[in-house]
Structure 1
Amino acid sequence: MASHPRAALDQTARCPVDHARDDRKSASAARGGLLDAPIVSGYDAVRAVLRDTNGRQAGFKAEVIGKYRSQARPPILYLHGEAHRRQRSGTARFFTPRVVETRYRELMERTSDALIARLVSDGGGDLDKLSLDMAVAVAAEIVGLTESDVAGMSRRLDSFFSTAFQTRRGRFAELVSFLLNQWRMRRFYAMDVKPAIAARRATPRADVISHLLSEAYTPLEILTECFTYGAAGMVTTREFITMAGWHLLERPELRTEFLGADADGQIAILEEILRLEPVVGTLYRHVEGGTVALDIRSANGDATAVGACPHALDPDRERAPRVTGPGLAFGDGEHRCPGAGVALHESAVFLDRLLRVPGLRLARAPDVGWNPLVAGYELRNCRLAIDPVTSP
């Protein structure tokens, strides 16, 4: 399927950069997910499906969640209609801009400072590992997974979402993958989720797990919610921070612009990087007639929506009316990512501090892979180094 034609933006007379320029770093690795489904491409067509209230969530390993939840309530990711609206309104208070600024910003700053102090002390490190620790610390606070070691939880989540067995085929590989995931899920529950539930039964707090307990969710239902937030709030944010840092470290002029911008200006730069490099490249929906695959990358590269030179990184580009900075990278409609503001703000806080480290440079560009679990890119071994800075 393709989008319906509409009048293109009147930018053909003057393009801000070379028409052939392509600043995307993940394009070569991007490919479709594992579902055999018709592809919907183009901004208008993709957004229309995302806003279709009769559509249902598909993909993102719905069958994996089903194996663990049996007859339990599905996580919010798979709810729709009134049930989804009720849960969304119940958790929305944890993601508002005011709450991000007043409740979580200090945590973002403190965590960033600790991670960067470790980087400086070690004389270097992997940006993707730092990004994971950052993303896990912030998401854990919002969800309520605060009764276990953040570094340990980072390792547990990282192993669960590893692509090691996801790309293999055959009954034996599938059996090994299933058994490993069973063990990882049980370990995640025992080490991270169960202690958090016990603490919040004793003393409820302003977080997702406390809210779920107030709604009489069972431990199994809370586990599946935590797994969902683990993927959405931790894994994808990790990849984006790494990708944004890669772009900013390789382009000194963009790094200077970012560090010289105010908060809104920094968010605008990050949104443009996300538009160009959406972490989740394909979303799936059950619609009348079957399941369809929504090509987010094509939608975000649709010149009729995002302006001329759609594959160039241009924070000042002129978009069509009602097209936001990140395009459809956070989805749209009732299932638009509730943590979009959190992800952008923690990325800005961390990268602002990181890029001010004297002598910091990119020693090794990351390996770019593809994770079929989230239908998105995966960046690993992004090595940072800190050169000695001599006084003039």
Structure 2
Amino acid sequence: MTQQTRCPVPHGARKTSRGDDASSPAVELIGDTWHVRGHDAVRQVLRSAEVTQAGFAAETVRRSQPRARRPVLYNDGPEHRDQRRKIARYFAPATVGKKYRELMEERADALVADIAARGRVDLRPVTMRYSVDVASQVVGLTNSDRDAMAKRLEAFFDSTGLPPIESGGPAGRFGIIVSALRNVRTMAPLMRFNRRDVKPAIAARRTHPQQDVISHLIESGYSDEEILIECVTYGAAGMVTTREFISMATWHLLQNDSVRAQYLAGDQAERYRILHEVLRLEPVVGHLYRRTRTTVELDDGTRIPAGSLVDLYIRGGNADEQAVGTDPLSLCPHRELADGVREEALSFGDGSHRCPGNAIAIQESDVFLTRLLALPVRLASSPRIEWDELISGYSVRDIVVEVAR
């Protein structure tokens, strides 16, 4: 890698620092858990065929539903590869641009026009509605009122007081999925989503299949309950995380006039470069977890024994100077990266579980932000951060914007 000088124009620092930004030591054993922080080491573990998914409470899911077909997020091996191969066509960049861009533009135009008319809004419900509008088309949740569905999903993922799976059990949005798996017939918010949104979509597609995920699941023989859990998983992975990223990108761009101007003046490649750099700096999911099936030997000679739990620091890996250059906790869209390092670094994961919706997430974020930032809009107050402890993921709260009159 060419030695990079310091970023010539400071565009702001990471807003979500919480003590897990360090990339060294690259690998460390603490108690029974291996903590992996260096970019290349994290990537090597993620790409290894000798590890299984242990994040998002996957091991609890396997214990609680041993005979159920596992959602794609929790699966591994040949079955997982087959699942990913079959759904890949719904998330391919060419498909996203051809099939969903017009919808993104239409919904972004309407929502931003409403912001302009109202003058002052909290972006959180707006970006949730927008993310639901887009993701619902991909998944196939199109046979109910999307405004009402967005509110139901918001209530579901913001639910509190759900019974834990076990002492010290999972919390946060992915923990709720696990609770749903154990309480699928008793949790009221989930049942409302199932009754009013999922079941009508399933019924419609049993008669008239579409090019969407639910139609694929029906064709593959999934039960209604299994389809429900897949819809919840896509809701967390596709709707909620994109909402958080749009909010975070808005926060950064509205606090830096120079990078906002650079974004609005740039072509698509330049805008995507800026968004990827925001995502590198502020990964929505801060930690991933894997369990080793056999001994995994890293390039530095470290041998991680079979059966070990591995905590992968996405935030640390994204701030590794050996991979992303100097000033790793600063926003610098034109930073020099080491060979093979993506612009967003590890923020979409890597290996077999790399986020399949990366192309759609960046495109829908860009479509919305180009319209919002073209308004004479500013932050009305400082947003605040809340945390999903299970994945070290952030939620941006109180992100209120106002339009100059």
Measure, in 1, the Cα distance between the counterparts of 2:32 and 2:389.
Answer: 13
Q: Which 4+ residue blocks in structure 1 deviate beyond 6 angstroms?
A: 166-175
CA apart distance, 1:97: 1.1
Partner of 2:302: none
Measure, in 1, the Cα distance between the counterparts of 2:162 and 2:392.
Answer: 11
1:26 matches 2:38: no
1:99 matches 2:95: yes
1:201 matches 2:214: no
Q: For 1:290-309, what aligned pairs fall within 5 Å after superposition?
A: 290-309=308-327
Partner of 1:11: 3
- CA contact 2:20–2:316 (8 Å) conserved in 1: no
Residues matched between the structures, number: 374
TM value normalised by structure 2: 0.85
- CA contact 1:57–1:284 (8 Å) conserved in 2: yes
Q: 1:55 to 1:350 in 2, by over 3 A?
A: same
CA apart distance, 1:89: 1.0
Q: For 1:142-153, what aligned pairs fall within 5 Å after superposition?
A: 142-153=138-149
> Any idea what SS the aligned residue of 2:380 has?
strand
Q: 2:37 aligns with which of 41, 58, 67?
A: 41
Measure, in 2, the Cα distance between the counterparts of 1:192 and 1:285.
Answer: 33
Partner of 2:70: 74
Give per-residue Cα distances to partners, 1:225-248, cap 9 Å, x unaligned. Answer: 111111100111110000001100
Give per-residue Cα distances to partners, 1:38-61, cap 9 Å, x unaligned. Answer: 321110110011001121111213
Give per-residue Cα distances to partners, 1:130-179, cap 9 Å, x unaligned. Answer: 1111111111100001112222222222222227447999979999x857
Q: 2:381 aligns with which of 352, 357, 364?
A: 364
Measure, in 2, the Cα distance between the counterparts of 1:72 and 1:303.
Answer: 43
Q: 1:24 to 1:242 in 2, by over 3 A?
A: same
1:377 matches 2:394: yes
Q: Which amino acid aligns with 2:57?
A: K
Measure, in 1, the Cα distance between the counterparts of 2:64 and 2:235.
Answer: 15
Give per-residue Cα distances to partners, 1:325-346, cap 9 Å, x unaligned. Answer: 0000000001100000000000
Measure, in 2, the Cα distance between the counterparts of 1:164 and 1:326.
Answer: 32
Q: 2:122 aligns with which of 110, 126, 129?
A: 126
Q: Which amino acid aligns with 1:110?
A: E
- CA contact 1:283–1:294 (8 Å) conserved in 2: yes
Q: 1:174 to 1:351 in 2, by over 3 A?
A: closer
Q: 1:230 aligns with which of 213, 235, 246?
A: 235
- CA contact 1:50–1:333 (8 Å) conserved in 2: yes
Q: 1:44 to 1:166 in 2, by over 3 A?
A: farther
Q: 1:286 aligns with which of 263, 283, 291?
A: 291
RMSD (Å) for aligned C-alpha atoms: 2.8
1:221 matches 2:221: no
1:330 matches 2:322: no
Q: 1:30 to 1:43 in 2, by over 3 A?
A: closer
Partner of 2:298: none
Partner of 2:187: 182
> Any idea what SS the aligned residue of 1:286 has?
strand
Measure, in 2, the Cα distance between the counterparts of 1:173 and 1:347.
Answer: 33
Comparing 154-163 with 186-195, which one deviates more in the overlay? 154-163
> Any idea what SS the aligned residue of 2:244 has?
helix
Q: 1:318 aligns with which of 314, 317, 336?
A: 336
Measure, in 1, the Cα distance between the counterparts of 2:394 and 2:163.
Answer: 13
Give per-residue Cα distances to partners, 1:279-333, cap 9 Å, x unaligned. Answer: 0000111112321111000000000001111111011000000101000000000
1:250 matches 2:255: yes
Measure, in 2, the Cα distance between the counterparts of 1:251 and 1:46.
Answer: 31
Q: 1:54 to 1:63 in 2, by over 3 A?
A: closer
Comparing 332-341 with 57-66, which one deviates more in the overlay? 57-66
CA apart distance, 1:18: 8.4
Measure, in 2, the Cα distance between the counterparts of 1:18 and 1:116.
Answer: 30
Measure, in 2, the Cα distance between the counterparts of 1:88 and 1:290.
Answer: 26
Q: 1:226 to 1:348 in 2, by over 3 A?
A: same
TM value normalised by structure 1: 0.88
Q: 1:246 to 1:166 in 2, by over 3 A?
A: farther
Q: Which amino acid aligns with 2:386?
A: G
> Any idea what SS the aligned residue of 2:394 has?
strand
CA apart distance, 1:127: 1.6
How high is the sequence identity, in percent, across the aligned residues? 45
- CA contact 2:12–2:256 (8 Å) conserved in 1: no
Gaps spanning 5+ residues in structure 2: where?
A: 22-30, 293-305
Q: 1:252 to 1:155 in 2, by over 3 A?
A: same
Q: 1:339 to 1:332 in 2, by over 3 A?
A: same
Q: Which amino acid aligns with 2:87?
A: T
Partner of 2:85: 89
Q: Which amino acid aligns with 1:152?
A: A
